Structure 1
Amino acid sequence: MKDPRDIIKRPVITERTSDLMSNLTYVFEVDKRANKTEIKQAIEQIFKVKVIKVNTAIMPKKPKNYGRHSGYTSEWKKAFVTLSQDSKPLEFFETV
């Protein structure tokens, strides 16, 4: 199995994801090749919580302009992770 810290890249913190945190749903940017089972195991190992379900979405690349130059942002994958009701909230997100 891969290292859990290689699968989970960073949390995604926006207004929408902050609202989801009240339902014990957290959003992470994950490795594009990772599947739902690997994401679930990585979250359970890193944060010591029980994961109920994992939903994933691949975010498409978007065009960007930098002065005269144009290009695209990278395509990335995000995971919506729902914890069980008896799990404690993630300490990482409590300071937000």
Structure 2
Amino acid sequence: MNLYYDLVKQPVITEQSLKMIEDFNRYTFKVDKNANKVEIKKAIEAIFNVKVVKVNTINVKPKFKRLGQHEGFKNAYKKAIVELAEGQTIEAFNV
């Protein structure tokens, strides 16, 4: 069970991700870079007790940032978009 919490790091809550929840019942999470779709599906089903229909993953590249004279890159991460079965929701997103 602890392994699942290591795979799913945090939810991504943006305007676009909230729109996807309303329209398509798709939830977005930051996940471990080495996690595959099968592992992500099992983790989401175990953590939130829902039925996952589909998982899409995206590798987000590091983004260049500058603050005054300091410059660098934001961290790269992997994002998973998880589609749930009809009629199921994740209560953590319904704020």
TM-score by length of 2: 0.93
Instruction: List structure 1 segments (4+ residues) > 2 angstroms apart after TM superposition.
Output: none
Task: Return the offset for 1:66.
Answer: 2.1
User: Partner residue of 1:47?
Assistant: 48
1:16 is aligned to 2:11: no
User: Partner residue of 1:74?
Assistant: 75
User: Partner residue of 1:83?
Assistant: 84
Amino acid at match of 1:19: K
Amino acid at match of 2:15: E
Give deviations 1:34-88, integer Å, cap 9, x for gaps.
00000000000000000001000011111111221111111100000000114x2
Structure 2 counterpart SS, 1:81: strand
TM-score by length of 1: 0.93
Amino acid at match of 1:21: I
Instruction: For 2:80 and 2:2, locate their aligned partners in 1 and report how far apart those are by CA, in whole Å.
Output: 17
Amino acid at match of 1:12: V
- Structure 1 residue ranges without an equivalent (≥5): none
Relative to structure 1, the CA distance from residue 80 to residue 31 in structure 2 (aligned partners, 3 Å threshold; closer, same or farther) is same
Between Structure 1 and Structure 2, how many residues are aligned? 94
Instruction: For 1:20 and 1:62, locate their aligned partners in 2 and report how far apart those are by CA, in whole Å.
Output: 23
- Structure 2 residue ranges without an equivalent (≥5): none
